[in-house]
Amino acid sequence: MQRRPFHKVLIANRGEIALRVMRTARRLGYGVVAVYSDADADAPHVRLADQAVRLGAPPPAQSYLNIAAIIAAAKATGADAVHPGYGFLAENEDFAQACKEAGLVFIGPSPEAIKAMGNKAGAKVIMSCAGVPCVPGYQGEDQGDEAMLREARRIGFPVMIKAVAGGGGRGMRLVTDAAAFPDMLRSARSEAAAAFGDGTVILEKAIANPRHIEIQVFGDGHGNAVHLGERDCSVQRRHQKLIEEAPSPAVTPELRARMGAVAVQAVKALNYEGAGTLEFLLDGDGQFYFMEMNTRLQVEHPVTEALTGLDLVEWQLRVAAGEPLPLRQEEIGFVGHAIEVRLCSEDADHDFMPQSGRMALWQMPEALRVEHALESGAEIPPDYDSMIAKLISHGRTREESRARLIAGLEQAIALGVTTNRSFLTCCLRHPAFAAGKATTAFIAAHRDELRAPDVESSTVALAALLLSVSHPLAHPVRSGRSLAAAFATPLRFEIGGEVRECELLRERDGTFRVTQDGAEHRCEVVSLAADTARVRLAGILESARFARDGDRLFVQHRGQTLQIHDLTLARPQSTAAAGGDGKVRAALNGRVVAVLVKPGDEVAAGQPVLTLEAMKMEHVHTAGIAGTVAAIEVAEGDQVTTGRIVVEIAGAIAS
């Protein structure tokens, strides 16, 4: 094994993982180079790198997939190694090969290993030959629609459609019956092609309510291989992980040893170098089935780092430089329990719809490890994954780790773009998760219990108060008595999806009285800063963080994040927003990937008419009414903004 020294690392990625790799690379004495799309021109990973190179012409969503541009950037800056991070080109054998041919050290496995294990169909064949139990399914070359449906019937519904390339839940669909299969197949192929440049899929038998368990492995060029224990990634939505923890509550020491031995055996059989993860489904009887191998660093690697005290990026860099693994299997220890949550810019109460826009106020807790690349005022573009931060807790016990993470989430401030912060807190607090009983069916089974709680009347009163005193034209709030005449101010605003009407009256003693539906709340503003208010409400002194953006106010109070839309001077809303006027409007910023109808088609209310892609996920838009398609205002490939009319249906009943 020859040493492969390098001095400067180009990071072919963005966001928090780019910053994460930079941190370790700098600690070890390497120079760091960033690449960026036009959407990321002023991003933190660009500003903090030693050098940065614009990736050029492709649209932002495709820029980080431009192999030629990334190789050219390395050559132009003198970088002699490339770290791919995760996602994008991290599991692309052509990229690894291009780096090799350009004389660059690829910080990851060989192109041959990526090709062998990065393709889910080929990986299952290899694992089966090695005696590793695999999920029953179809990995054949015939990708025709009829052949795929025939194989799905043979396997038996429900079946899982899975992209052969990439990961992260893209190109995955759970299909419960034959009637839904064709549309699900098309959607999975389209999403996979957009995310990974390959629309090939496989089929797997859907195992009921399994655990998703993965084993972290490492190999080097000296024939050594180890595992670093398991992570439980069962809490998922849309087949994408939201909460990961280690060790798994469902894995015994004996099972850990068996799964670890299988994983190490696979690594040695492949002569695998670098970080990798073998993913398994664990059923209720303790049987595990291989699904896939991710030939890269995982999003959730900080969980393993917390338990082992190791820096996995450092291990990647050392192995890529030709060094042996720093530790033998018997030298690796595990201490305590760690849990990670993925903070995403998405609306959990509306089918986890991705959200883009300006993050007005951003402040993360200091007591937790937080991986992110955001700051107050930053724009979250619609082109990339919705994950904006990872919060990781570590404690002596699982309960200690869980409690710390809940406290940290409640302290996290993310105002201006809707996030899943409250949803994650509800998940961590749920009795099933607290008891360590969560499977991949957790969110679906407890969806109603995990929704945001109803807004209390006292919170409505606080919203009315803050909406008034934070207005740019509002008089400064001064404590004490006033001789000014008191007049009630009418307010109308939307909060929690419901329109509220209140009256706000400033009393002569300096307090405020909020009246809604006959109920009164007395409030006192104790102090008011640019983004923080201290208010005495029902005799209790409370703090709230807030951010104002025109007629919208974002408030975080008692663990809830609220968006208040001032409608006091707005025209009354009609049924148009819901499509009741026959116009289908884009629900988010995105790209049109499929138009499912044509002019003249008869459609039923609720029928899919168009699919948008945003943040690497597809979102089907449906007809709001029954009628005839009168016009299609967009074409496949078009970029659209939220609220744009995309399809018009004749026959609407006037509202």
Cβ atoms within 10 Å of 631's Cβ, excluding its own: 12
- In a 10 Å sphere around its CB, with 0-12 CB exposed, 13-18 middle and 19+ buried, how is residue 120 labelled? buried
Query: Which phi and psi angles does 444 have, rounded to 5°?
Result: -65, -40
Structure tokens at 390: 């990872």
Residue type, 297: L
**Which is nearest to 390 in space by CA: 408, 417, 416?**
408
Check residue 623 and report its DSSP letter. Answer: -
* Cis? peptide before 247, omega within 30° of 0: yes
- The CA distance from 58 to 467, in Å, is 42
- The CA distance from 74 to 137, in Å, is 41
- The CA distance from 587 to 532, in Å, is 31
**Which is nearest to 205 in space by CA: 262, 255, 139?**
139
**Which is nearest to 364 in space by CA: 353, 372, 352, 354?**
372
- List the beta bridge partners of residue 353: 347
Place of tokens 């999806």: 497
**Which is nearest to 416 in space by CA: 467, 455, 361, 372?**
361
- The CA distance from 525 to 479, in Å, is 7
Helices (H) and strands (E) in the chain, counts: 18, 39
**Which is nearest to 251 in space by CA: 279, 213, 199, 289?**
213
Query: Of these residues, 173, 231, 296, 506, which one is catalytic?
Result: 296
Cα dist. 460→3, 158, 466, 566 in Å? 65, 44, 10, 13
Confirm whether 478 is a catalytic residue. Answer: no
Kindly provide the residue ranges of all beta strands, DSSP E only, lying in 157-224, ordered along the sequence. Answer: 159-163, 173-175, 201-205, 211-219
DSSP characters for 279-341?
EEEE-TTS-EEEEEEE-S--TTHHHHHHHH---HHHHHHHHHTTPPPSS-GGG----SEEEEE
Residues marked active site are found at: 296
